[in-house]
Amino acid sequence: MRILICLALLIAAVPSVQAELVYDVFYRANGIDAIGNTVINVDPDQTIRGVEVILRETATGADTNLLETSGLRTYAIELNSTAQDAFQNGTRNPNFQFSASGNDGDTFTAFNFAGGTQGSGVAANTVELSLGTVDLVGPTVGSQVTFSLADYQPANPNFTMANNYNFDQFINFGNTLTLASVTAIPEPSSFALIGTLGAAVMLRRRRR
């Protein structure tokens, strides 16, 4: 009995493979990774094209990256924004065999019948896979639009590796990207021109 208890305690003390893997999903716009709450200043009504939705897996222990060795079999992710019609030309990763139902401009869903789509190593213990690309429509002058990501129908197991490991509960969906349009401020040369015109008007009035 003591031996069984010791074995149980030993197994509980050994960290699981999955517990040592950390996952993030985020937007990558113009080479900028929107980790945390990222703000990018844009021109009014500017559209940022070809923005990637990235799944990143980081091995925090001695484990190997499942995204690189096993590959992703299925995924379903929802793209959200604080403005209407802010997404254009959404395209899921074409390296998956099929698109699942519900795939549209602001939802990426795809799966493989067999095997997984593997990610690429970008740093030590870090592997990334693009889930798709989308164009983000920027705000009008003086306003901003915030883009976020969410688990599509979270009651279902949406993110699954080829070895049938489901990891929805380990994904950080809290990263956001904000496109902010700043009201244009006249350059010093513009101020000088305005001042010159104002002085000319005042001088003309005095002569009258």
CB-side neighbour CA atoms (13 Å) of 25? 26
| pLDDT at site 16 | 44
By residue count, the chain amounts to 208
Conformation bin of residue 21: beta by default, left when phi > 0, alpha when psi is -120 to 50: beta
Contact 128, 55 (CB under 8 A): yes
| pLDDT at site 142 | 95
Please list the ranges in the chain whose pLDDT falls under 70.
1-19, 100-104, 183-208
**Backbone φ and ψ of 40, nearest 5°:** -125, 125
| Helix (H/G/I), strand (E/B), else coil: 45 | coil
| pLDDT at site 8 | 39
CATH: 2.40.360, 2.30.30, 2.60.40, 2.40.50. Which one for 20-198? 2.60.40
pLDDT digits (tens, 9 = 90+) for 84-106: 999 999 999 999 999 865 555 78
